[in-house]
Amino acid sequence: MSCRLVVLVSGNGSNLQALLDAAVSGTLDAEVVAVVSNKPDAFGLSRAAKAEIATDVVEHHGKTEARADFDRRLAEAVSVHKPELVVLAGWMRLLTPAFLDRFAVINLHPALPGEFPGTHAIDRAFDAWKDGTTDRSGVMVHWVPDDGVDDGPVIATTEVPFVENDTLELFEKRMHQAEHALLVDAVNLVVAENSLETTGQ
């Protein structure tokens, strides 16, 4: 039986699409069993629906809801699908141990380990190149053991160099291409190297 993935998305979902495409072409050693979003209008949900995959939305109740309370509701929604692995693919919300202690969780981030944690990592790397402080960036997939931002044991990385006459648009395109390939590779690596169990029960 292949590894059960639940994918968490907040937006476009092009990385989710890479997983769905790899599942169809047989290059993903796992099955996306559900996609959960914190944003009801996330395009990733439409991608999942098109692929006939279960979807759910868990919205944060603004200032009135504590982070851990949201995380517990999210964990309940995710656990319904009995995942062996939870993949954060463009998930734009910090998770706490209320969620993380219940699942094996990995995160995709468009920067190399220790570089540009948080949002707008691609733009910040491009600015650093323009300032002459770097000549490459890259993408990584890492475990999410705690609520550190884009930090945790690294599973896989790909370097993405800058090129002569680079533009933000071209660099961003290369970064996303690298992410799409790396995420599939990283999931396959995790499945191959870890004895994953159904979690979150």
**Catalytic positions, written as ranges:** 109
When the beta carbons of 1 and 138 are compared against ligand GRF, the nearer one is 138
Residues forming contacts to ligand GRF in the complex (CB under 6 A) are: 9, 11-15, 89-90, 108-110, 179
**Cα 162 from Cα 146, distance rounded (Å):** 32
Q: Are 14 and 21 in contact (CB under 8 A)?
A: no
The sheet with strand 105-109 has its strands ordered as 54-57, 30-37, 3-9, 85-88, 105-109, 136-143, 154-161
The C-alpha R_g of the chain, in whole angstroms, comes to: 17
Which H or E run includes 30? strand 30-37
Q: In the bound complex, what is the minimum distance in angstroms from residue 12's beta carbon to ligand GRF?
A: 4
Q: In the bound complex, what is the minimum distance in angstroms from residue 197's beta carbon to ligand GRF?
A: 27
The CB-nearest residue to ligand GRF is 90
When the beta carbons of 19 and 98 are compared against ligand GRF, the nearer one is 19
When the beta carbons of 61 and 136 are compared against ligand GRF, the nearer one is 136
Q: In the bound complex, what is the minimum distance in angstroms from residue 198's beta carbon to ligand GRF?
A: 25
Q: What angle (nearest 5°) sits at the alpha carbon of residue 157, between those of residues 87 and 122? A: 80
Q: Are 103 and 36 in contact (CB under 8 A)?
A: no
Q: In the bound complex, what is the minimum distance in angstroms from residue 172's beta carbon to ligand GRF?
A: 9
177 is written with which tokens? Answer: 């291409």
When the beta carbons of 82 and 189 are compared against ligand GRF, the nearer one is 189
Amino acid at 98: A
